[in-house]
Amino acid sequence: MSPISVKRVLISECVDPCCKALLQESGIEVTEKQQMSREELIAEIQNYDGLVVRSATKVTADVINAGSNLKIIGRAGTGVDNVDVEAATKRGIIVMNTPSGNTLSAAELTCALIMSLSRNIPQAVMSMKDGKWDRKKFMGAELFGKVLGIVGLGRIGKEVATRMQSFGMKTIGYDPITPPEVSASWGVEQMTLDQLWPQCDYITVHTPLMPSTTGLLNDASFAKCKKGVKVVNCARGGIIDEAALFRALESGQCGGAGLDVFVEEPPKHQALINHPNVICCPHLGASTREAQARCGKDIAVQIVEMVTGKALVGAVNAQVLASTFSPDSQQWIRLGESMGRVVRACTASKQPYSQVHVTSIGESLRKCTGFLSSAAVVGLLTEASQTGPNLVNALPLAAETGITVKSSHEESCEHEAMVLQVSVNGCSFRAVGSVQGSNPVLLEFNRSVFRQPVPLTGHLLFFRATGSTEILLSVTGALAAAGVELQFFSTSGASSGEHWHCMGMSSLLSDIGVLKPLAKEAAQLTL
């Protein structure tokens, strides 16, 4: 992937000063404007290529669509709940976060809430400040020997587990992605949720907020837990059903809750906040000097590495681009886009497309099928889409226009190639290309195998006709009459029948209609 041009970045929240400094050191102009209203942000964003936010700025579809030059949205922190990722993807805008920046701070706060729940520390502090001395009222319990259930065994879940094990807690967990053998290596036995709920003395959640995790702890799951179970949420508001939690607290089924996040922030469920067995914080998981410095530095470094073409880290909607930041990948991306454009030019009268199938051939292309598919679709949709297709939004745009995109890989020890097959209006077109040296070339088009690979650069004329000296002379004559110089010619190895030919030209024909009497089909394009 070619380096992305980002010249001006807007920072809309209080981010560590190192973020601005690092961006400026790389020649990026940075403006800081905090506490803007939605309307102010919409008016301002059109002037910038990049936007850096924390969690307070709501990057809605309206904001994204107003950012006519926007190429990157960077979230200095974990999660992107405040960013409309789907809208950004459709616009071809990369959304990235800093997934590890606040890991330790969030894990430490989780541990602090577990300990506070076990010993009623905040309630005891408030009692003392009120002039009381109630030793018996705040009788607690040891963590030693207790069972901690960890739902979500990613970075933060792992750090919580290792810290609470030092207190002698038994750690069990659930995660649909982390392999059980991996979590077992750091002392967490995995099981199903139905197996986990009844065993836990404490439960902490560390999952993203998505449909499958919304209300994960609800009336039904609380009913399966031990009476008096204590729960902690430093992840995302809504993973624990707040109404169900309040009912469980009132009945005693839940013995206490440590909450750092809420469905609405600031929270409006005051009865829950004021419950005597609830410890709550105003979303402090990442609120440490170290986490903020780390997140500010990480997002700046990630943007600079993307801009300079070195790497793409933390992208949540453009994972396919991660493997494109290498010199070899650039030529294959060019090949994919060029082949897509050739097919589009030669099928202009037959559109719309219904299916695209991209096959990568060769061991070195095993991991390239994803971006080759995106690149081919970019070529197919260029000039056909007002959105401006790129590697980020190509596949969503294809789906939006009813195109099914498939990809596959074939092993080969002899050569590397890409095959693009397109179904368009009942017809099928097939192109085969490769990279020779550093140059993308077309080897075959619709079963016409070219005697000499066609360089996919410059002004190209493709036409389908019988293979004869007369047709070559007629076409070159038409070019000469139009003042166009022939630069190269490649034809099929077939000795009879109609097949495709390609000519390199000094410029495009002003009227390709002059070839109508000479060829069954003709198309020209500039690459």
Which ranges of 26-102 does DSSP label H, i.e. alpha helix? 38-45, 61-66, 85-90
> DSSP label at 474?
H
Q: Bridge partners of 53? A: 75
To the query of whether residue 155 is one of the catalytic residues in this protein, the response is: no
Residue holding tokens 């453009």? 318
Active-site position among 75, 91, 236, 334: 236
* Residue 435, Ramachandran bin (φ over 0: left; ψ between -120 and 50: alpha; else beta): beta
Separation of alpha carbons 65 and 88, rounded Å? 8
Active-site position among 54, 91, 283, 501: 283
> End-to-end CA distance of the chain, in Å?
17
Separation of alpha carbons 448 and 502, rounded Å? 11
CB 278, CB 260: distance < 8 Å: no
Active-site position among 265, 363, 400, 485: 265
Cβ-based neighbour number of residue 413 at 10 Å: 6
- How many residues appear in the chain? 527
CB 337, CB 526: distance < 8 Å: no
The sheet with strand 278-280 has its strands ordered as 189-190, 170-174, 147-151, 202-205, 229-233, 254-259, 278-280
To the query of whether residue 501 is one of the catalytic residues in this protein, the response is: no
Separation of alpha carbons 256 and 115, rounded Å? 12
Separation of alpha carbons 143 and 334, rounded Å? 59
Q: Bridge partners of 158? A: none
Backbone angles phi, psi at 72, to 5 degrees: -145, 135
To the query of whether residue 275 is one of the catalytic residues in this protein, the response is: no
Separation of alpha carbons 517 and 314, rounded Å? 55
Active site residue ranges: 236, 265, 283
